[in-house]
Amino acid sequence: MSANFPHAVARLRAARLARSVKPFLARGGPKGERCTGCRLVPTHCLCALRPNVPTSAGMCLLMADIEPLKPSNTGWLIADVVADTFAFGWARTEVDPALVVLLNDPQWQPYVVFPREFADDARVVHEVTHDADIRPVKRPLFILLDGTWDEARKMFRKSPYLQNFPVLSLHPDQLSRYKLRRAQSEAHFCTAEVGAMCLDLARDTQAAQALNAYFDVYTEHYLKAKRQQPVDLADAMHVRLKEVTRPV
């Protein structure tokens, strides 16, 4: 199943492809045989399993140059799950005016999600602010720096327009489940895993569970496609995705 730019990451990918001097050739699968809706080969398409769950939080993805082009990018999964996902390409010397407008929108409370050791203590927070009615004072907007670890650190250091926002430092109690690229450390989580943790802090519990389950299913489809093995739509991962995406 294909889709025509269903969300912000897909649109950013299309814009980046339009600027490319030469075609971007993703690894795995015959050339040109990837679904535009999920980036997988057609035999392992994930589009029919895309979750539809409510969310109150928003996600703002600042993406390194070719990150939107990679089939292994998991920011795409966040955009599949979270309706209010915004995606911008990052450049050191220029800022998308639409990003500035978003960050200044009074409905949002932006949080830059990054480890505390790289920020001044005065900026670091560990929770999302809520009022007595267990609703956010403003809707949280989680700013995720989507790239390699080196690229993310560069984005954090060299984005002055982010310097006035609190830095949300996460403390996960598990190791990363990401298997699609080699990470520098098992303590480094992929973008979808970080997004799910943020949704949990925002008390978007169902969306957090859905994103985690969707990430596991995507990983399974991706790796099975790479190995030319069929997927089992009745296995525990797929059953779990159906369970957590049922209307509550």
Q: What is the pLDDT of residues 190-216, one digit of tens each?
A: 899 999 999 999 999 999 999 999 999
Give the chain's domain count: 1
Which of 44-58, 93-107, 151-165, 176-190 comes out lowest in average pLDDT?
A: 176-190
- pLDDT confidence band for 36 (50 / 70 / 90): confident
- Digit-coded pLDDT (tens) for 132-146: 555 667 999 999 999
Instruction: Kindly state whether residue 1 falls inside one of the protein's structural domains.
Output: no
Instruction: Name the percent of the chain lying above pLDDT 70.
Output: 84
Instruction: Kindly state whether residue 3 falls inside one of the protein's structural domains.
Output: no
pLDDT at 177 over 90: no
pTM: 0.89
pLDDT at site 32: 57
Instruction: Kindly state whether residue 132 falls inside one of the protein's structural domains.
Output: yes
Instruction: Kindly state whether residue 181 falls inside one of the protein's structural domains.
Output: yes
The 3 state secondary structure assigned to the chain is CCCCCCCHHHHHHHHHHHHCCCCCCCCCCCCCCCCCCCCCCHHHCCHHHCCCCCCCCEEEEEECCCHHHCCCCCHHHHHHHCCCEEEEECCCCCCCHHHHHHHCCCCEEEEEECCHHHCCHHHEECCCCECCCCCECCEEEEEEEECCHHHHHHHHHCCHHHCCCCEECCCCCCCCCCCCCCCCCCCCCCHHHHHHHHHHHCCCHHHHHHHHHHHHHHHHHHHHHHCCCCCCCCCHHHHHHHHHCCCC
Instruction: Kindly state whether residue 72 falls inside one of the protein's structural domains.
Output: yes
pLDDT at site 29: 44
User: What domain range includes position 195?
Assistant: 8-244
Instruction: Kindly state whether residue 204 falls inside one of the protein's structural domains.
Output: yes
Instruction: Kindly state whether residue 38 falls inside one of the protein's structural domains.
Output: yes
Instruction: Kindly state whether residue 143 falls inside one of the protein's structural domains.
Output: yes
